[in-house]
Amino acid sequence: MDFLRPSSWPEALAAKAEHPDALPIAGGTDVMVELNFDQRRPAVLLDLTGVRELAEWERVDGRVRLGAGVSYSRVIAELGDRLPGLAMASRTVGSPQIRNRGTVGGNLGSASPAGDAHPALLAADAEVEAASTTGSRRIPIDDFFTGVKRHALHADELIAAVWITPPSGPQQFSKIGTRNAMVIAVCAFGLALHPERRAVGTGIGSAAPTPIRAGAAERFLTEALDADGLWESRGDLPDALVHGFADRVRDAAAPIDDVRGSAAYRRHALSVMARRTLDWAWTDYQKAGA
């Protein structure tokens, strides 16, 4: 196995162009497991940990450009106030060791339906910046996941960063596992309220072949909040509205039975998480306006 260790972003892109089958490695918390269990035997490993640009985040035109190599620990410590949904999701990942090594770019690279960053990125309408020696492009998060553990990157592309707009309203993340830490989600749910554009964002994890959005639930809640003037009044949400939202989140899922949980349990759990996260987020919204 060849091991390439570029020390700059242009070098990394040149290496990927020359070796399109090279397997990038960032924190290695997915890749090393796959190598150890002989699930992968790549001819070339492309170590990105020497590329300083990937480990940086910055504010650009009011948005956060989060380098693909920024770890979960840094998202929590440095961006908890700007990206609360992603920080909440990051707190549930693995253990301190995994959060120190594991990166949001690596979560996207694995594109697992159970990746914990994904529901938060969907709810926040993030964009993935992909780059190659021929240029870069932004992929809306909805178009990034193309199948089970498959994504929209071309063979010569690497993930440079994720673009996220800091929220104008509350965000929430909820995850169900068989214990409190070091657990792959049985299912997960991310919610973002966007009062400045009167919109609602959602993301569902571990309950479909890819991370997905609950589009009908988003539209239902957005229309109801508008129709009842609730964005302005910040009044209590009617029970029927909360349950209607939760039912639509549940119905958006396409889960399977597996060792972590049954499809029926996942559907039920999603409706509970949808109700709870909406309750928490709306209470935060009411408090912010008080």
Ligand X SMILES: Cc1cc2nc3c(=O)[nH]c(=O)nc-3n(C[C@H](O)[C@H](O)[C@H](O)COP(=O)(O)OP(=O)(O)OC[C@H]3O[C@@H](n4cnc5c(N)ncnc54)[C@H](O)[C@@H]3O)c2cc1C
Where do contacts with ligand X occur on this chain (CB under 6 A)?
A: 23-31, 33, 48, 68, 92-94, 98, 101-103, 105-107, 109-110, 115-116, 158-159, 182
H/E stretch holding 190: strand 187-194
φ, ψ for residue 285 (rounded to 5)?
A: -65, -40
Residue 68 or 139: the one with the smaller Cβ distance to ligand X is 68
Question: CB neighbours of 102 closer than 8 A, spacing ≥ 6?
Answer: 27, 29, 30, 71, 72, 93, 94
φ, ψ for residue 151 (rounded to 5)?
A: -140, 175
φ, ψ for residue 267 (rounded to 5)?
A: -60, -45
Exposed, middle or buried by CB within 10 Å (0-12, 13-18, 19+), for 28?
Answer: middle
Residue 30 or 246: the one with the smaller Cβ distance to ligand X is 30
Q: Letter for the amino acid at 30? A: D
Q: Is the dihedral of CA 138, 155, 202, 244 positive or negative?
A: positive
The minimum distance between CB 269 and ligand X, in angstroms, equals 16
User: In degrees to the nearest 10, what's the CA dihedral of 14, 15, 21, 23?
Assistant: -120
SS3 275: helix
The minimum distance between CB 45 and ligand X, in angstroms, equals 9
The minimum distance between CB 95 and ligand X, in angstroms, equals 7
SS (H, E, C) 103-150: EHHHHHHHCCCCCCHHHHHHHCCCEEEEEECCEEEEEEHHHHEEECCE
Residue 105 or 169: the one with the smaller Cβ distance to ligand X is 105
The minimum distance between CB 92 and ligand X, in angstroms, equals 6
- How many angstroms separate the CA atoms of 280 and 161, rounded? 30
- How many angstroms separate the CA atoms of 48 and 7, rounded? 8
The minimum distance between CB 86 and ligand X, in angstroms, equals 12
Residue 34 or 228: the one with the smaller Cβ distance to ligand X is 34
The minimum distance between CB 265 and ligand X, in angstroms, equals 19
Residue 27 or 170: the one with the smaller Cβ distance to ligand X is 27
The minimum distance between CB 50 and ligand X, in angstroms, equals 12
Residue 158 or 224: the one with the smaller Cβ distance to ligand X is 158
Residue 188 or 230: the one with the smaller Cβ distance to ligand X is 188
Residue 33 or 264: the one with the smaller Cβ distance to ligand X is 33
Q: Residues for the chain: how many in total?
A: 290
The minimum distance between CB 171 and ligand X, in angstroms, equals 17
